[in-house]
Every structure is written in C-alpha cells, then in structure tokens.
Amino acid sequence: MENSTGVPRLPFKNRLFNAIGVLQGPVLAIIGSIVVGGIIILVSGRNPFEAYWAMLKGAFAGERLINLAATLNRAVPIVGMGLAAAIPLKAGLFNIGGEGQMVLGGFSAALIAIYLPIPDAIMLPVVLVSAAIVGGLYALLAITIEDRFNVPLLIATLLLNYPARLLTTYFVKNQFRDTVTAANQTLPVPAAARFALLTTGSMLNTGIFIIISLIIISALVIHRTVPGYNLRMAGLNRRFAIYGGVDIRMLEFKIMFLSGAVAGIVGAVVVLGVFYRYVDMSLTAPAYAWVGLMAAILSRADPLGVALAGFIFSAITTGGYGMERDTSIPREMSVFLQALIIMFMAVRTSFQLKRKTR
Amino acid sequence: MEAFFASLNANFLNSLFRFATPVLLAALGGILCARVGVFNIALEGMMLTGAFTAVAGEYYSGDPWIGVLSGCLGAAVLALIYAILVITLKGNEVVVGIATNLFASGLTTFLLPAMFHVKGKFFDPRLVGLSNIKIPVLHELPFLGPLLSGQTVLVYLTWLLYILAGIMLFRTALGLRLRGVGEQPLAAATLGVKVNAFRYMAVLLSGIFCGLAGAQLSVGIVNVFVQDMAAGRGWIAVVAVLLGQANPLGVFITGVFFGLADSLSLQLQGVGLAPQFTEMLPYLVTLLVFGLVRARQKHPRSALAN
C-alpha cells in the first residue's frame, strides 16, 4: 500500500481517527461561537433559538431550495479565495494579498472579454487563463519584493492590496466606465464570456464547476504528487525540505504564482458568472478574500476542508439575511459569528501548534 | 506646479503630525512587543477596536476624554485576549494576529448596526471630538507654528511617550530586563526575571497605545467612525517597527515619514490628481522605503525563524 510519494498509507481505521482528530478543532470552534453568539442574542433581548432557526432557513430552505442555491453561489468566491490562501499556507507562506490578486484578475477578465476580438468558442478559456496570469503575476510581484528587498511576504502581499483596489476603482470610474449607467462599472461582457445560470431565481452558475475542479486538482496534487509532497514538507519543516534537496525558493515562487492565479480565476468567475461586467467594489465589499482566508485557517489549509469551511461561512452569511428579515437582528451578526469561529480556532490551534515564527 | 507649492501651506504642515500620530502610537506598542520577543501584527485590529470604543465612549458620556479612555480600554481587552493566546497558550503569532484583526473587523462591523442602527459609518452631532491646543508664541511662528501647534493632546502625549520609552529602554534597569526578555529569554528567566509578566505587560501596553491611536483617528481627526477605518495603518506601524529596528528614534522618524506621505496624498488631491492615485502613495512609499532600507539586511524569513 504505497502512493506515488512512496510513503506507506495508514490503515483505514487510523485514517478515520485522524480525520476525526482534524475535524475536532473546527467543530468545537463552530459550537463555541454558536454558544457565545446565542448568549449575545439573548442579552440583546431576543430568542437565540428563533434567530438560529431563521438563519438555517435563510441559508438552506426557501421555495425550490432557492436559499441553498444562493448559499452555493456565495460559496464559489469564498471557497476559491480559501483555496488561494490555503495553497501557500500549506507551505508555510502567508499570502494575505488575495484581494488585490482577485481584483486585478476579475478586472482584466472583464476588459479582455469586452475589448479583444476573441472567437466565441475559445472566449471563456482565454479570459480565464489571462485572469489567472494577471493574478499570478501580481502575487509574483509580492514574493519578488520579498526576495529582492527583504520585505516580509506577509507585509508585501498585504500592502499590495491597496494599490490594486485603488487602481481598478480609478479605471472603472474613468477610462472604462459604462457611461450609459450611473454606477461605476464597465460595459457588459459579450454573451460568449458568460457562465450559464443553473437555477432560476439565483445567480448560481456553471462557474461553480471551475472552483470544484480547482479544489479536486489541488487536493490530488498536494496529497498525491511529489511537488505536493515538497510543498507540505516546506510547510512542516522548511530546513528539512532544504536538506532534502528541494529548491525552496523556486518552489515558493511557483506556489505564489499558483495562489495568485487561483485568486485571479475567482475574480473572473464572479465577473463572468454573476455581474457580467466589472462593478467597482463588487469583489472587495463582501470581503471574499478575508472570509476565504478564514476558511483556509479553519481547515488548516486542506483543500477539501476549505470547501467545507467555505460552504459553512457562506451559509452563515446567507443565513444572516434571513435572520435579519425574520428577527430584525442585524445581518452583520453573521460577520461576528465568523470572526468568533476563527478566534476559537486560534485558541484550538494554539494548543497544538508550536510557535513557528519565533 | 505653482499651485502645488502654494498648497504646501499651513494645512499641509498641520496635517503631518495629525496623520503620523496613529501610526506612531501603534508603532510604539509594536516596539515594546518586539523588544520582549512578540511579533505583534494585531496592531491593526487593536487600533480599529480602539477607534470604535472611543467613539462609543464619547457618544454615551458626552465627554471626548471618556472616549479616549474607553478607546484604550477596548483595545486593551483585545490585547489581553491576544496575549493569552500567544503567551500563555503559545499560539502561532501570525495566525493569532490575523485572527485578532479579522475578529476586530467582524466585531466592529456587527456592533455598528447593533448599537447605533447605522451601517458603514457612524456620525452624530453629539460627537465633538478632541480640541486642538494652540501653544502661545509658537503658534504665531511661520512653519513651526502650523507644524507643531494646533494639535490634539494625543499628539503631544505621543512625543512624550517616545522620549519616555527611549529612556526606559536604554537607561533603566527595567529596560535592560525588558530587552533581556526579548534577546535571551532563558538567561533572563535564570536571573529571576518574570519573562511572561514582561510579555503580558508589553502586549497590554501595546493595546493601550493602539487604543490611543484609534482615538486619535476617530475622535481626534474626523469625529466619525467608519467601518475598517484603520485602513492598513496598523500594518504600516508594523513596517515602521521593522524599519526602525524597534528603536524609538528610528521608528519615530519612519512614522513621521509615513505621516508625510499621508498628508502629501491629501495635498495632491487638492491640485487635481485623482484621489485613487494619491491614496496609493502611503502604501507604495512604505514598500519602496522598506525595500531601499532593508535590501542589504538579512533575509526576513530566516531572521524570523532563528
């Protein structure tokens, strides 16, 4: 029983226990935040059970499961950005510049689809690949700054978010604004560049399959291939990976490019599947990158775990709207619940992780 | 160009320290943490929490000074949580720091509609804010007058705190022990220095300073609370600490430099440059300066992972 990395696989029973052990932290974190959130609802003079019931209905129920479709649709960018954060995190790198990479990817996707004469048949792939390259290059810029100028990656990635956001806002307000409409947005993208809707009544579209494929591919690469093994080794013990002959700098450049590429694709998927144009703030206001980062931390950077955690975070946000409608508790409660989960998770991992950065 | 130089007037000079102060205060907390060996990247979240609780405190009490105090208190509570996670539970500083920042953002986003029934921005005529102090004689001088006079008390307090921090760190036994905790924790512990007590103290003080920073931002400058109004200033403070190598003088100079970039960005808007480009300035300048200064130093990740 060996897989391609040559490491013997554990018997099924052990793997099952490992899985339960891994899940224990996130589950406890979610339960803890539900309890604390419930206490706060109780203190504010409302019934927590009613509130959570409204939230559940808001997230999953509705006529023809329309709320579930909305939850899935929101999960697409969250899970995608979670994956963009998880790939470097698994290797011990913090890319907190996903937002900038996503924004530039989404914006360039819109521009390329609108202004370049691309045949319909290859439109979607060309636009997606371009968005991936733009996002990837922006992430490469961050690690190049680290490599050349010794700016810690954490800080380089974070600070690069702001110019990307401001730059796209500038362009979408000026050169590339659709002057027919009052909003700050580009022209609509041609029909060939749009993902098809999957339901009526929600914006859930075929773009979800792009994200699902990315999750499956990354899970396979990380757990079943030699580069994936090197990546995990770099995260577990950087020096060991170097002693093992891994060209760690090269590996880290590749990882950052892939991370940025995923973020760029996520931006493109939202632009081409939901708005059909680039709308100013549409990618940054919902904080997809940050909720995705939380999903990556919660799942300890495991691709399949990111999908689950991202889905849960999405359900909390979508459910928040239902809660606001039914109980008048502000839907920002869901942002707080997510923040609580991540804080509890920090407590849990604090018990388990050693201080790596010291 | 002429309009640009004409705009380098009293307003510009006056805004320099107004904008530099939040970064300077947060960075002072960062200095203490760095000196005891805690890489505190939660300054941003603490500043944001301080800005919120400061506005809330002033709104409910009607007194901006109660606002400043509650700003410190709010940020200190968050700092205490951070300290427990990082020092007692030995959590990964980067993970806990990011979590703390996200928590602060989520908490204030939720409390804004829950307490004040508004979204995104809170403004009320009851918020009068801190008054600016006019220093006699100095106030009338050209250049120095607008630069140094007419600031909130927090600005002057910041200068005093930097001087005190410099003296404390390098001229007192307390400072020696504090530095020892960061540089040789084992040796310090062997000599009977309570390592964790020093670390808790440093993190709590950084919370209080970030509370002051948040208060300067909300009740000191604009008298409103805007969602995520720290806008990366806590991160710029982290950069200032790294650049100034946790030395109060070096960090002060770096912080003032960022204040310069911030107020310059406001001035450039006045002469017709697109606001998006001028707002980029502080972040780009930060990266550029960091790059120029640090290019010859050790690789950051190897420095962190010693």
Measure the CA–CA gap between A170 and B276, rounded to whole angstroms: 6
Give the number of other Cβ atoms within 10 Å of residue A210's Cβ: 21
Map tokens 């549409």 to a residue: A282
pLDDT at B293 over 60: yes
Distance CA(A131)–CA(B84), nearest Å, equals: 42
Q: Is the pLDDT of residue B204 over 90?
A: yes
| B28: nearest Cα among B148, B220, B202, B147 | B202
- What is the percentage of chain B residues whose pLDDT exceeds 70? 93
Minimum Cα–Cα distance from A328: chain B residue: B114
Please tell me whether the overall predicted TM-score, pTM, comes out greater than 0.90 for this model.
no
- Strongest mean pLDDT among A131-140, A199-208, B95-104, B161-170: A131-140
**Mean of the pLDDT values across residues A54-61?**
90
Of B39, B100, B112, the CB nearest to A357: B39
* Highest mean pLDDT out of B109-123, B126-140, B192-206, B220-234: B192-206
Residue of B nearest to A238 (CA): B305
What percent of chain A has a predicted confidence (pLDDT) above 90? Answer: 48
Which chain B residue's Cα is nearest to A148?
B295
The complex scores an ipTM of 0.81
pLDDT band at A21 (very low <50, low <70, confident <90, very high): low
Q: Say if the Cβ atoms of B287 and A151 lie within 8 Å.
A: yes
Inform me whether the pLDDT recorded for A358 exceeds 60. Answer: no
> Mean pLDDT over residues B257-273, rounded?
81
Reply yes or no on whether the pLDDT at A224 is more than 50: yes
Q: Which amino acid is at A352?
A: Q
What is the DSSP secondary-structure string of A29-74? HHHHHHHHHHHHHHHTTS-HHHHHHHHHHHHH-SGGGHHHHHHHHH
Contact A150 B300 (CB under 8 A): yes
- How far apart CA A125 and CA A112 sit, in angstroms, is 12
CA dihedral A12, A17, A20, A24 (to 10 degrees): -160
List, in order, residues 6 or more apart from A263 with CB less than 8 Å away: A80, A81, A84, A98, A101, A102, A105, A135, A139, A289
Burial B203-212 (b: 16+ CB within 10 A, else e): bbbbbbbbbb
The pLDDT score that the predictor gives to residue B300 is 44
Chain B within 8 Å of A339 (Cβ-Cβ)?
yes
Cβ density class B282-294: b for 16+ within 10 Å, e for less: bbbbbbebbbebb
Q: Who has greater pLDDT, B304 or A26?
A: A26
Of B92, B107, B297, the CB nearest to A353: B92
Distance from CA of B58 to the nearest CA of A (A): 22
Using CA atoms, how far apart are residues B225 and B59, in angstroms rounded to an integer? 11
E strand or H helix that includes residue B173: helix B173-183
Let me know if B51 is exposed, middle or buried by CB neighbors in 10 A (0-12, 13-18, 19+).
buried
Chain A 183-242, residues with CB within 8 Å of chain B CB atoms: 238
Among partner residues B37, B91, B291, which is closest to A349 by beta-carbon distance? B91
Whether residue B99 and residue A293 make contact (CB cut-off 8 A), yes or no, is no
> Nearest-CA residue of chain A relative to B112?
A332
Confidence (pLDDT) at A248: 86
- Segment A60-82, tens digit of pLDDT: 987 778 899 999 999 999 999 99
Residue A1 reports pLDDT greater than 50: no
pLDDT at A6: 53
pLDDT-derived band of residue B2, with 50, 70 and 90 as boundaries?
A: low
Cβ atoms of A105 and A264 within 8 Å: the answer is yes
- Compute the C-alpha angle B257/B76/B193, nearest 5°: 90
> Higher-confidence residue: A245 or A102?
A102
Q: Which helix (H) or strand (E) holds B225?
A: strand B225-226
The pLDDT, as a whole number, for residue A243 is 85
CATH of domain A71-341: 1.10.3470
> Which A-chain residues 280-299 have CB contacts (< 8 A) with chain B?
290, 293-294, 297
Report, as an integer, the average pLDDT of B118-137.
Answer: 77
Task: Quote the CA–CA distance of B297 and A160 in Å, as a whole number.
Answer: 22
Q: How far is A355 from chain B (nearest CA, A)?
A: 5
State the smallest CA–CA distance between residue B304 and chain A in angstroms.
Answer: 6
Chain B interface, mutation test: which of A41, A78, A90, A154, most B Cβ atoms within 10 Å?
Answer: A154
| A160 backbone dihedrals φ, ψ, rounded to 5° | -75, -15
CA pair distance B91, A353, nearest whole angstrom:
7
Phi, psi of B121 (to 5 degrees): -150, 135
Q: Is residue A55 predicted with pLDDT exceeding 80? A: yes
B103 → closest Cβ in A160, A293, A339? A339
- The reply to whether residue A350 touches residue B92, judged by beta carbons under 8 angstroms, is yes
Taking the C-alpha atoms of residue A291 and residue A278, their distance in angstroms, rounded to an integer, is 21
- Give the integer Cα–Cα distance in Å for A354 and B92: 7
Q: How many CB atoms lie within 10 A of CB B196?
A: 14
Confidence of residue B7 (pLDDT cuts 50, 70, 90): low
